[in-house]
């Protein structure tokens, strides 16, 4: 009798389970996605989490079936999965790069605008689609109560796989496999629904300042309160809609109506104080950043975004990415798709070109620039007085090499003579080589006599040439070359040209020849400190020295 009594109950339970399974199957088949049906219903949706993910969950003090929260950031192209820890707070489990999203920053308004939703959405078990043609998907539930209050239209807005979007957030198949499994496990652990928070960007003061002129700023300031609540408490905010706006953490005994005025409600005092403090700090920071932060355009025309890791892989398929890509992907900013099995031969938006190193910068700066021709060995060289005379620099001259002290001694002897036997006021007048020799003789000093050499017979002194520049000119004057007349000595024999005269230190002038100097800030040889772009120049026959910085020779200070 007992067996007969329990038989109808067993049959009733079996029928109920069959009916439940049938309802779930029908619901899965009815969900489009981003809404089409594919073979193998339920198979992909029941795949288990990998051992590595389970180990990561346990290492963070979570359980495999603990509740989850999903946060989406459009501009950064990132999706975060947070899980509840044993203490009740939520912690970040993983950040998933988003493979593709469409539209612009801002909420979805109407069907066909290609906008991906922004705001707060609730995902129930019935919105999970294990049979999507985009591998796996869950419906975000657009339009929610807020969207409906504003008359916004659209349907089947998903988070799914296949890296293709038309108003959805598209991941790779491998990514959505794990995200789907994390949601499924949370339902099996007792979570009735999980929250999706979809933001235009990470709502920091800097990002708010960058987008301060965007027409969606009022909407973003409203949902920032929910963002701040999660940042402060590490728990998902309670979300309601009344008066056609979101309200967060509200406590009331009355019912909220999205289109009606908000009933009286309160917010926990400690949380309300923390939110007010954070809002005041962020507003001050935004006010300070706004004058120095460029404004981002509200419309980019790129039709959404793609995380940098996937853009890099399109450029170089050998690079690793979190999951496989379909054969063809349409990157943001392009009107056509690119093959994913070969390097893209087009500039892709968002991919920055590598910054050249210091050595590469030098090579680029000097590329295809001819070096100056070598100076003929028999070319005449100017005297020491010409080297010291102020002159207009000659452009595109080669660097000068300073000779050793064993070269032409006329400049050195006259310099020593000035130091030992003449005053600085006498040195204002520029003299010829013969005058310098006479001055050296009158001082009783001679290099040849000092080192035991024979004194050569002095050469007859040519008539001095008067200077057109006044004697009272200061070393800092830079008169044009046509207003100066320097004494030019006769050309020396070729044998004397082998030893250039000693060049005193002179203020360096910037070079206009890229081949003659390194760029400013480029590294020196063997990792030395960066060197500035300097060109002292090389004198040519019958011209003054390029880069000479001493207008009047001999003005040494004791």
Catalytic-role residue among 160, 163, 211, 242:
160
C-alpha–C-alpha distance, residues 364 and 366, integer Å: 6
C-alpha–C-alpha distance, residues 321 and 77, integer Å: 14
List of residues 6+ apart from 23 with CB closer than 8 A: none
On the 0-12 / 13-18 / 19+ scale of CB atoms within 10 A, 159 is: buried
The Cβ of residue 236 has, within 10 Å, a number of other Cβ atoms equal to 22
Residue 211 annotated as catalytic: no
With beta carbons less than 8 A apart as the criterion, state whether 326 and 337 touch. no
For residue 389, which of 457, 329, 465 has the smallest C-alpha distance?
465
Both tokens assigned to 8: 């109808």
Quote the strand ranges of 8-49, DSSP E: none
Name the CA dihedral angle for 246, 252, 256, 261, rounded to a multiple of 10 degrees: -80
Catalytic-role residue among 34, 99, 163, 168:
168
Residue 160 annotated as catalytic: yes
For the four alpha carbons of 270, 275, 276 and 282, in that order, the dihedral sign comes to positive
The CA angle 188-193-198, to the nearest 5 degrees, is 130
Q: Exposed e or buried b for every residue in 29-48, given b needs 16+ CB within 10 A?
A: eebbbbbeeeeeeeebbeee
Which ranges of 118-233 does DSSP label H, i.e. alpha helix?
Answer: 145-149, 173-188, 205-210, 217-233
| Residues noted as catalytic | 160, 168
């Amino acid at each position: 009798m007992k067996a007969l009594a329990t038989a109808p109950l067993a049959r009733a339970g079996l029928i109920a389970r069959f009916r439940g399974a049938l309802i779930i199957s029908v619901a899965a088949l009815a969900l489009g996605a981003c809404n089409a049906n594919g073979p193998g219903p339920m198979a992909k949706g029941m795949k288990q989490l990998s051992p590595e993910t389970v180990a990561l969950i346990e290492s963070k003090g979570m359980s495999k079936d603990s509740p989850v929260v999903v946060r989406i950031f459009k501009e950064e192209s990132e999706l975060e999965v947070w899980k509840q820890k044993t203490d009740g707070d939520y912690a970040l489990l993983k950040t998933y790069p988003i493979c593709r999203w469409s539209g612009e920053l801002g909420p979805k308004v109407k069907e066909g605008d290609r906008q991906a939703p922004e705001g707060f959405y609730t995902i129930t078990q019935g919105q999970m689609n294990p049979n999507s043609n985009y591998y796996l998907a869950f419906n975000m539930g657009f339009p929610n109560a807020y969207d409906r209050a504003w008359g916004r239209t659209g349907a089947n807005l998903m988070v799914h796989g296949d890296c293709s979007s038309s108003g959805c957030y598209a991941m790779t198949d491998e990514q959505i496999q794990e995200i789907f499994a994390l949601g499924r496990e949370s339902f099996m652990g007792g979570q009735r629904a999980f929250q999706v928070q979809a933001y235009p960007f990470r709502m920091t003061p800097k990002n708010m300042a960058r987008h301060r002129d965007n027409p969606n700023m009022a909407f973003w300031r409203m949902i920032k309160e929910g963002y701040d609540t999660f940042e402060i408490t590490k728990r998902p905010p309670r979300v309601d809609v009344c008066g056609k706006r979101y309200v967060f953490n509200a406590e009331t005994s009355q019912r909220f109506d999205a289109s009606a005025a908000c009933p009286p409600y309160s917010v926990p005092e400690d949380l309300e104080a923390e939110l007010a403090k954070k809002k005041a700090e962020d507003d001050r920071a935004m006010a300070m950043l706004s004058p120095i932060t460029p404004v981002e355009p509200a419309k980019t025309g790129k039709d959404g975004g793609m995380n940098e890791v996937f853009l890099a892989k399109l450029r170089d398929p050998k690079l690793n990415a979190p999951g496989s890509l379909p054969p063809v992907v349409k990157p943001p900013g392009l009107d056509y798709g690119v093959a994913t099995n070969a390097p893209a031969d087009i500039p892709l938006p968002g991919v920055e070109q590598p910054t050249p190193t210091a050595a590469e910068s030098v090579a680029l700066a000097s590329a295809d620039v001819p070096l100056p021709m070598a100076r003929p060995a028999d070319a005449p060289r100017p005297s020491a007085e010409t080297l010291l005379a102020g002159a207009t620099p000659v452009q595109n001259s080669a660097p000068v090499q300073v000779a050793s002290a064993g070269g032409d001694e006329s400049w050195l002897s006259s310099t020593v003579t000035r130091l030992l036997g003449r005053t600085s006021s006498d040195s204002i007048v520029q003299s010829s080589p013969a005058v310098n020799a006479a001055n050296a003789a009158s001082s009783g000093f001679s290099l040849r006599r000092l080192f035991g050499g024979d004194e050569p017979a002095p050469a007859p002194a040519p008539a001095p040439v008067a200077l057109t520049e006044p004697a009272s000119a200061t070393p800092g004057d830079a008169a044009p070359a046509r207003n100066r007349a320097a004494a030019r000595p006769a050309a020396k024999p070729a044998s004397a040209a082998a030893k250039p005269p000693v060049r005193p230190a002179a203020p360096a002038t910037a070079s206009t020849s890229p081949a003659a100097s390194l760029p400013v800030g480029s590294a020196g040889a063997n990792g030395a400190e960066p060197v500035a772009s300097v060109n002292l120049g090389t004198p040519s026959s019958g011209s003054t020295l390029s880069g000479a910085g001493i207008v009047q020779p001999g003005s040494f200070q004791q």
